[in-house]
Structure 1
Amino acid sequence: MTGDPFGDERLVELYDLDNPDGVDHAYYRALADELKATKILDFGCGTGLLTRSLATPGREVIGVDPSKTMLDYARKQPGAESVTWIDGGSTAVDQTGDADLVLSSGNTMMYVSTEEFPAVLATLAEALRPGGVISFESRNPAARAWEQWGRDATYGERDTSVGHLIEWMEVTEVDNGRVVFDAHNVFEDGRDTVSTNVLYFRTAEEITAGLEAAGFGSIDARAGWNGEELTDASRLFVVKAIKK
């Protein structure tokens, strides 16, 4: 996970509007309740919308994110005092071996490079107790979602809380599952704030192999938030695994 694609405070303010509480957050909350989790690590917590909702009485919740801009915003939100916020990536994760659940929402794991992926999974495993659960989602490369991310398909204008905004996306590189795209955001001052994002698309087999190497078993991959069965056309993997 490199750089901070959400380094502009105006973009962070719009993030929760564009990524509201939905079926994905409901899935993670239900999983936490099912596990009777008393300690949860949210890796790549962003603005903390999901993180804060997990912080119920009697539960310890830790949010970790490399974006200082996002965490600064998260710390100002209602309920933020119930969460421990940690600036940084996987190297900032405390490997305490006592968490019941590690989750990673918002396609966070897709920002982890191929080279970093094994070490990140190993670190998250060390944060969990034996029998603890990791869960995250990732896009299926076979669906080739990036082919819909061109300017023509994504261009739009809208009035927002930070003023009129013109926005679009442009893919600049595709190489063996690594996809680089620029998100353009033109505010009323005429300045184009460009955030460059690098995503790593992995097959279900690649994700499974990574989890097994990190010491996880009982690996289950579904095609959606309601337990849909995987097919070749599935757009999403929702992954769950147990630390041995």
Structure 2
Amino acid sequence: MWHGEYRDPRLVEVFDAERVWGWEDDFFMRVLADRMAPRVLDLGCGTGRLAIAMAEAGHEVTAVDPAGAALDAARRKPGSARVQWIEGSFEDLPSQSFDAALMTGHVVQHLSDPEWSGALRALRDALVTDGRLIFDGPDPAARPWEGWDRAATERPIVLADGSVVLAWTEGAAPAGDVVPVVHHYRFPDGLELTSTSALRFRDEAELRGSLRAAGFRVDQVYGGWGREPPGLGHDGELIVIAIAEPRLIP
């Protein structure tokens, strides 16, 4: 899948203009502050909004993303010098180096099943015992793809120079637990760019099982940014806090 919002500099600019600080960022900052976590990993950091905020709050932040264009945008932001930026993926994580790891912005739905299993194993290795893994994903029970058409999703996005990009999303019928998606972006000069994704939806039971298999204990699962239980409220999220279990010695 292309995921142009992270790889094409023109779409990275659009992505960054639309994703401003929101209640989800406040949520992650509050959860991070619940326990001492000097060393923090932001895996799939994108253009770095949350990574920079965590560093400004006093954490030692390592931000990892495979998309060089997104990291270029992150490095241009004020405060970016406080963050260690790494162009890479979960295969590049150092062992036993972090007190907390975050995957935000629904990163988990962009990972195939083998990638998800590999990422969880790598994250367990990267965290100290009792370190926390914190991530969010869409709850498939909310069936968000049913609202993915142009009529429901078309919106203007204002760029830094004042120009306006028209954007909309179109989703296809799910193929099992995977939903194909096309994001459209029409620029003022008439240029239209698209970005394709295949989004993997995992329910709470599947998330719990995969975390347990990778050496984590689930501490909390929320269904919204107000810490509502899954299925309650209107956010349609599965927000998970898991704890790295002690390693088994052969």
Relative to the length of structure 1, the TM-score reads 0.92
Partners of 1:232 and 1:57 in 2: CA distance: 31
Contact 1:208/1:219 (8 A) holds in 2? no
Contact 1:104/1:136 (8 A) holds in 2? yes
Report the residue type matching 2:194 in the other structure: V
Query: What residue number does 1:51 align with?
Result: 51
Partners of 1:41 and 1:215 in 2: CA distance: 18
Query: What residue number does 2:105 align with?
Result: 106
How many residues are paired up? 242
Query: What residue number does 1:76 align with?
Result: 76
Query: What residue number does 2:241 align with?
Result: 240
> Is 1:37 aligned to residue 41 of structure 2?
no
**Percent sequence identity over aligned pairs:** 32
Classify 1:159/1:52 alpha carbon distance in 2 versus 1 (closer, same or farther; 3 Å): closer
Contact 1:4/1:67 (8 A) holds in 2? no
Query: What residue number does 1:126 align with?
Result: 125
Partners of 1:202 and 1:219 in 2: CA distance: 18
Contact 1:4/1:66 (8 A) holds in 2? no
Partners of 1:56 and 1:156 in 2: CA distance: 32
Matches within 5 A, 1:220-231: 220-231=220-231
Classify 1:179/1:233 alpha carbon distance in 2 versus 1 (closer, same or farther; 3 Å): farther
C-alpha distance after superposition, 1:17-62 (max 9, x if no partner): 3222122111221222222211000011011000000004753100
Report the residue type matching 1:32 in the other structure: L
Contact 2:218/2:240 (8 A) holds in 1? no
Partners of 1:168 and 1:120 in 2: CA distance: 30
> Is 1:67 aligned to residue 71 of structure 2?
no
> Is 1:151 aligned to residue 150 of structure 2?
yes
> Is 1:115 aligned to residue 128 of structure 2?
no
Partners of 2:214 and 2:157 in 1: CA distance: 44
Report the residue type matching 1:225 in the other structure: W
Partners of 1:156 and 1:19 in 2: CA distance: 13
What are structure 2's unaligned runs of at least 5 residues? 246-250
CA RMSD, 1 decimal: 1.9
Partners of 1:156 and 1:226 in 2: CA distance: 26
Classify 1:144/1:38 alpha carbon distance in 2 versus 1 (closer, same or farther; 3 Å): same
Partners of 1:159 and 1:21 in 2: CA distance: 15
Shift of residue 3 of structure 1? 4.2
Query: What residue number does 1:206 align with?
Result: 206
Partners of 1:16 and 1:165 in 2: CA distance: 12
Partners of 2:156 and 2:52 in 1: CA distance: 31
Relative to the length of structure 2, the TM-score reads 0.90
Matches within 5 A, 1:170-209: 170-209=170-209
Contact 1:173/1:181 (8 A) holds in 2? no
Partners of 2:31 and 2:157 in 1: CA distance: 36
What are structure 1's unaligned runs of at least 5 residues? none
* Other structure's SS at 1:116 match: helix
Name which of structure 1's ranges 26-35 and 159-168 shifts more when overlaid on structure 2: 159-168
Classify 1:148/1:166 alpha carbon distance in 2 versus 1 (closer, same or farther; 3 Å): same
